[in-house]
Structure formats: structure tokens, C-alpha cells
Amino acid sequence: MSRFVTRRLLQAIPTFFGITLITFALFRLSPGDPVDLLVFGVPDMTAAQVAALRHAYGLDQPVPIQYLNWLLRFLHGDFGQSFLYHRPVVEMIGSALPNTIQLALAALLLALVIGVPLGAVAARSRGSRLDQAIRIVAVGGHAVPGFWFGLMFILVLSVQVPLFPVSGMLTLGASQWDIPDRLWHLVGPALTLSLAGIANYSRLMRTEILDVIRQDFVRTARAKGLREQSVLMVHALRNALLPLITGLGGVLAFLVSGAVIVESVFSWPGMGRLAYEAARSKDYPIVMAVVVTSSTMLLVSYILRDIAYSVADPRVRR
């Protein structure tokens, strides 16, 4: 087991370097010099002063050295300063990250709770109108743009019929630990974010159950006279649950990437919104740090998924 975990961790190292390399390369390839941005508001700087500034930021060194310096600082938790707020980026990410994780976990829960039963029902009534309807709903979960679903949620359930709050995480003035208020604010964004996950899981579940149904132990269960209901829901479903862990990969990618959209629509103070606002005001250090941290987050969750899978199905450890 520990050998499997070690190997999986070692595999992630090159990917992490790949992520940082792509981020840094994009940054360096972009037109203009980072110093130009700093000099922009100060036209009467002398050439010597600009050179000194360039030296102070290490920009006079060869690009590979610059990359290594940047990476080293990054690994030490020094993500630089925000251009706009003059605050350490690491602080801003530190306060946004928990909110994004909270939202993603809520959406994952919804995707499981809604997607798995939908898939099971579709498998049970395969070939029927209901199965076809669930297929269209599932494909629709991928086809409907998340931001539009969020807008419609706000338009119908917050503006026209004021049931849910329009935006934010808490009612103004509510206490940090007002759990019902938090959950009330969570409904819209979590539901919007879970759409793709619901779609993924319901299709995955349907395929898996139909696959499991053909196996011998299901025939045995039928042969000993169990009702179809309990054959499906007890014997087949339990064995079809394993791939849910595999399916987590795709769902996680949707959750993290979708955060940009959902958090912008619902003004949820997480990583996606932070990156979006920073992007609009050209605040490079923030966007760069968010790209690397969110990718690392995804990478870590892929590792956790693989470990969970190896616990559930020991055959994959080799």
C-alpha cells in the first residue's frame, strides 16, 4: 500500500513541474516586460533606475534562472504581492481557498445524491421513455452553460420569487457560524456547480449497473428468487459503486474549472472569483498563483482518488 502511494506521489512530481513550467512560460512569452507595468505610472524614471529595478526583481538574469527563482519562492509560499491591493497574494488565496473547497464539496455531494439514483432508475427502466428522458437530462447537464443556469436561478428564485439570496456567502451582519444562513446561500451555487457532475454520474451509474447485471452473481441472486428490486438495489448497485471513484476524476475537473463561472455569477468569494477579478484588473501575480494552486489542488485530488480506488479495489496496486 505505502509503495503504491509513494509511486503515485512520485508520478505527480513531473506533472507539478509541467504545470509551473507552462504557467511561467506563458507569463514570459506575453508581450511586454513585467517592469514596464511597474514603470508605467512613473514616466520620469531614468534608464539607470529602470535597470536597477530590473536587477532588483532578478529580471536581468537568464530565463531558466528566473524560472528556478520563481519556483523556489513559490515552494516557500511566497506568491508575491498583488499589483492592485498591495497585499501578499498568499493571504488572499488563503482566505479564498476554503470557500471554494466548501462549495466544491457541497456540489460533489449533490452530484452523488442526485446523479446516482437517476442512473440507477435509468438502468432499471432501460429502453423506456423514462430512460430516454433521463438520457436527455444527463446530456443536458453538460450542454446547459453553468453561468446561464445560475442566472436563471437568480432570475426566477431570487428576483421574481424571492426564495434564495442573490449573492454572497452570508447575510450581511450574520454571524460566521450561522449554519442555516450559510446553507441557504449555498443552494444556488452548489446546484449550479453540480450540474455536470449529476450528468456524469447518472450516465456512469447507468452503464455500470447494466454491466454488472450481466454477471454471474446477479443471475444467482435472481435464481434464488430475490425480487428484481432487491437484485438491482442491493446486489448490482453495490458492485457498480466502485467506478464512482474513477468517475471522480472528470467530476473534480468540472468542479474546479466551473468555480470561475459559478463564483462570478453568485459573487462567491472563492478562488474563481479572485482569479476573475484579478484577470479583469490585469493583476498578474494573483492569476498566476491561482492557476498554480488550483492545478495543484486538482493534482492532489487526483492522487487522493487513486489512493481511494486502491483501497476499494486492491487489484490496482501492483
Q: Which residues bind other proteins (CB under 8 A)?
A: 14-15, 18-19, 22-23, 26-27, 29-31, 132, 135-136, 139-140, 142-148, 151-152, 154-155, 159-160, 203-204, 206-207, 210, 253, 256-261, 264, 272, 275-276, 278-280, 282, 284, 287-288, 290-291, 294-295, 298-299, 302
Cβ nearer to other proteins, comparing 301 with 310: 301
Q: How far is the CB of 180 from other proteins (least distance, A)?
A: 26
Amino acid at 227: R
- Closest separation in Å from C-beta 3 to other proteins: 21
Do the beta carbons of residue 89 and residue 285 sit within 8 Å? yes
Q: Which is nearer to other proteins, 19 or 97 (CB)?
A: 19
Query: For residue 295, what is the enclosing H or E element?
Result: helix 284-312
Q: What are the grid coordinates assigned to 22, written together?
A: 507552462
d(CA 261, CA 184): 20
Contact of 188 with 268, CB cutoff 8 Å: no
- From the list 190, 204, 199, the residue with the least C-alpha distance to 110 is 190
Residue 252 beta carbon to other proteins: minimum distance, rounded to whole angstroms:
9
Q: What SS3 class is residue 240? A: helix
Residue 234's CB is within 10 A of a number of other CB atoms, namely 13
Residues 6 or more apart whose CB falls under 8 angstroms from that of 302 comprise: 12, 249, 252
Q: Least distance to other proteins from the beta carbon of 166, Å?
A: 9
Beta carbon nearer to other proteins, 1 or 316? 316
- In the complex, the smallest distance separating the C-beta of residue 60 from other proteins, rounded to whole angstroms, is 21
Locate 30 and state its grid cell. Answer: 506575453
114 or 254: CB nearest other proteins: 254
Pick 105 or 159: Cβ nearer other proteins? 159
Considering the complex, what minimum distance in angstroms separates the CB of residue 140 from other proteins? 6
Q: Which three cell numbers stand for residue 82?
A: 498583488
Q: Report the residue number, 159 or 312, with the smaller CB distance to other proteins.
A: 159
